[in-house]
Homo-oligomer: A and B are copies of this chain.
Amino acid sequence: MRLFDTKPRGVPFATGADVPLTLRAQGSFFIGGRDIRSDALSAVPAYAPSGTVVVDQVYVRFAVPAAVGGPPLVLVHGCCLSGQAWETTPDGRPGWDEMFLRAGFPVYAVDQAWRGRSGAGIAPAANGDGPLPTVFSAGREDAWTVFRIGPRFPEPYPDTLFPVDAVGELWKSMVPDFFYALPTPNPTVPALSALARRLGGAVLVSHSQAGLYPFQAAEAARDGIAALVALEPAALPDPAGDLSAFRDLPVLIVYGDHVAASPRWAPRLALARAFVAAANAAGGRAELMSLPERGIRGNSHMLMQDRNSDVVAELVAAWIGRERPHGAGGAAGRPIGGA
């Protein structure tokens, strides 16, 4: 399989503003979910207090290029963000969703359960039915260092590739995060499993907080999972544990720059290295890609929004092409929709 057979000649990976984007299908649907009943859905007269709502469902926005040239990608955003993180970058360049679409990959971007367009089950508790679920927002002063834009707010790293002038758009993209209110595995995990089964050979691409989810999905069942790509995962399976679930599964972990100076991220990169070694010792096909070790300096935690997001996307796409993940292929990109 050559992934880029369908790429228009002479068009760089990231570009396309002047080249039309031709889709076979696009739209959205939901996956997963469970019903809950409450007598505290509403305290306003216009809506009844008692009734049934669904929670834990996962919103999926998808697009399938007219000429499919790669396996379907499932994009799972990280902390405090929604699937918007993969769309237009803060400074207005095409997001990874469009970049991969233009390269021939069907793209399925989710909102984690209880996030964004995947409705949160907040109303019952807010109206007196049970304790309020834990929710937090990341302040920009905190996110600045968590996302490794710079050593301290508002000072950027001199070589940062994050589009700092447009960082206000990143702050606007942040949403309340109910991560700590949800069970383990996060309801997003079974939804990813179900989505992969429906797609029949998907590459699960995660970022940060969501990093562990695709691994948990693969541990539950490998059906429909062709490969895993984890951008700076916040957590990974225990390298000392049973890693037989990952035998022969292509796994790519990507890390950006300025990690050693980060008390938050340095141990996570060390964990990633240990996981890769242990997974491969157990028959895995795991690879750690440190961008600075390849001579690419200045990437923040927001690899898909940095000014070289096209370069990182191309590296990931090339890895998928090299790995030719078992079970994946152009034919796997079936457009799906409805319930």
Q: Which residues of A contact B (CB under 8 A)?
A: 17, 20-30, 33, 38, 41-44, 47-48, 50-54, 57, 59, 61, 66, 82-84, 87-88, 90-92, 94-95, 98, 111, 116-124, 126-127, 132, 134-142, 146, 166, 168-169, 171-176, 180, 335, 337-339
Chain B residues, CB < 8 A from A43: 134, 136
A138 touches which of B51, B141, B337 (Cβ 8 Å) = B51
Beyond A53-B171, A66-B20, A88-B28, whether A135 also contacts B122 by CB under 8 A is: yes
- Asked if residues B142 and A51 are in contact (CB atoms below 8 Å), the reply is yes
Q: How far is the CB of A239 from chain B (nearest CB, A)?
A: 22
Q: How far is the CB of A308 from chain B (nearest CB, A)?
A: 18
Chain B residues, CB < 8 A from A38: 139
Beyond A20-B22, A28-B88, A53-B171, whether A138 also contacts B47 by CB under 8 A is: yes
- Asked if residues B338 and A92 are in contact (CB atoms below 8 Å), the reply is yes
- Asked if residues A169 and B29 are in contact (CB atoms below 8 Å), the reply is yes
Task: For the complex of A and B, list the 3 residue pairs with the smallest distance between their C-beta atoms, beginning with the closest.
Answer: A51-B139, A92-B338, A27-B88
Q: How far is the CB of A26 from chain B (nearest CB, A)?
A: 7
* 27 residue pairs bridging A and B, Cβ less than 8 Å apart: A17-B25, A20-B23, A21-B23, A21-B25, A27-B88, A27-B94, A29-B88, A33-B172, A41-B138, A41-B139, A43-B134, A44-B180, A47-B146, A50-B139, A51-B138, A51-B139, A53-B171, A54-B168, A59-B84, A59-B173, A83-B117, A92-B337, A92-B339, A116-B116, A124-B137, A127-B136, A166-B338
Chain B residues, CB < 8 A from A174: 53-54, 119
Beyond A51-B142, A54-B171, A338-B169, whether A29 also contacts B92 by CB under 8 A is: yes
A136 CA to B43 CA, complexed, in Å? 7
- Asked if residues B176 and A339 are in contact (CB atoms below 8 Å), the reply is no
Give the secondary structure class of A's interface.
Answer: loop
- Asked if residues A139 and B52 are in contact (CB atoms below 8 Å), the reply is yes
A337 touches which of B44, B88, B173 (Cβ 8 Å) = B88
- Asked if residues B117 and A137 are in contact (CB atoms below 8 Å), the reply is no
A124 CA to B44 CA, complexed, in Å? 22
Q: Which residue of B lies closest to A119 (CB)?
A: B175
- Asked if residues A84 and B51 are in contact (CB atoms below 8 Å), the reply is no
- Asked if residues A23 and B23 are in contact (CB atoms below 8 Å), the reply is yes
Chain B residues, CB < 8 A from A120: 175-176
- Asked if residues A172 and B141 are in contact (CB atoms below 8 Å), the reply is no
- Asked if residues B141 and A123 are in contact (CB atoms below 8 Å), the reply is no
- Asked if residues A30 and B169 are in contact (CB atoms below 8 Å), the reply is yes
Chain B residues, CB < 8 A from A25: 17, 21
Chain B residues, CB < 8 A from A111: 117
Q: How far is the CB of A94 from chain B (nearest CB, A)?
A: 7
Q: How far is the CB of A167 from chain B (nearest CB, A)?
A: 9
- Asked if residues B337 and A117 are in contact (CB atoms below 8 Å), the reply is no
Chain B residues, CB < 8 A from A48: 139, 141-142
Chain B residues, CB < 8 A from A22: 20-23
- Asked if residues B30 and A26 are in contact (CB atoms below 8 Å), the reply is no
A231 CA to B27 CA, complexed, in Å? 22
Chain B residues, CB < 8 A from A141: 48, 50-52
A117 touches which of B84, B126, B142 (Cβ 8 Å) = B84
